[in-house]
Amino acid sequence: MKPSPFIVFWISVFWIKGVFLNKEKQVFQSPAELLIEPKDETKLTLTHQIQSYDTILWYQRSPGNTSLKLIGYVSYKAVTVESPFQSHFNVSGDGEKAAFLHILSPRHPEDSGEYFGAASMHSSYPAYFGEGTRLTVLEPEHPITEPTVKVLPPSQKECRNQKDNEKRKTLVCVASEFYPDHVSVSWQIGEKEVTDGVATDSAALRNGKYYSITSRLRVSAEVWYEPSNKFICTVSFFINETTKKNSSAFIHGEKAKDTNAMTREKYLRITQSAKLTYSVFIVKSSIYGAFVAFLVWKLQGSSGKQNY
């Protein structure tokens, strides 16, 4: 049973928007991540437990694309592989239970991307996807390289224009010089993992042979200005199906500056204010002195007329 073009189009467009979800955890795909050499052969697996569903389809999404390309499918036990993929892929299994996407040798770096299996029936029923497999075909003579991680402190100027009760500080974690780009980033404050205020790049950026990625953690100024707080950034780097290497970096919070301490700016403000106050005092004193002198002169004048 070859799925209609409507099914293929419907899946490839609307799944990206989150319409087709894993139906009650009855669709399972493995592995989640995979690194292979150009000469390697491997396979992906999709199983489902949806009653009456009889077709499993396999799709490819290339890096930077949002659309899915149909590789092939198995309906009951009948297999079809689309012509552009026949030299690189094969499909096997049973559409009612489990199906496999076989990735054949030789592979090429452009075969890297995301691969999705989906359980389906026909055009009047939705298709339900597995969670996908992220696959990288390693480039020849390019060794797997773990990331270098560092945490940058917040800018000193960040809180200047914020209200006291809204002041926030942003810490930045930078992971760089790694290959390939199978990484995830997490934050801790002390022993506690935090997710609120965390923003991580959606994808690693490649520059030359290597990748880099940044993640930001926003905390209240009160939390940052506590020297006992330890801010830890951990980058989990995928090596193979059983091994992930964690690389971490950290910084401590800093002590808030004493707002009562005498600084040059504060000294200038105080002296300028004192000068202004003294100038006003002198002017007022002069006016008062002139007024007293005027009164004395008037009184002397009145006294002289009486004596005359």
Taking domain 148-252, whether its CATH number is 2.40.30.10 is answered by no
pLDDT reading at 21 higher than 90: no
What pLDDT does residue 269 have? 66
What pLDDT does residue 157 have? 81
DSSP state of 20: S
What pLDDT does residue 301 have? 64
What pLDDT does residue 261 have? 41
pLDDT reading at 289 higher than 80: no
Written as one string, the DSSP assignment of 139-176 is PTT---BPPEEEEEPPPTTTTTTS-GGG-EEEEEEEEE
CA 57, distance to chain mean position in Å, is 31
Q: Compute φ and ψ for 253, nearest 5 degrees.
A: -65, 160
Note the pLDDT tens digit of each residue in 85-102: 998 899 999 999 999 999
Element (H, E) at 14: helix 5-14
CATH class as words, domain 5-137: mainly beta
Mean pLDDT across 225-239: 97
Going by C-alpha positions, the residue among 54, 97, 55 that lies closest to residue 72 is: 55
pLDDT reading at 128 higher than 60: yes
Mean pLDDT across 137-142: 92
pLDDT reading at 209 higher than 50: yes
- Sole residue written with tokens 């209200």: 163
pTM of the model: 0.72
Note the pLDDT tens digit of each residue in 156-183: 887 666 665 568 999 999 999 999 999 9
pLDDT tier, 64 (very low <50, low <70, confident <90, very high otherwise): confident
> pLDDT: is 182 or 293 the higher one?
182
What pLDDT does residue 297 have? 63
What pLDDT does residue 282 have? 72
pLDDT reading at 4 higher than 60: no
Mean pLDDT across 274-287: 69
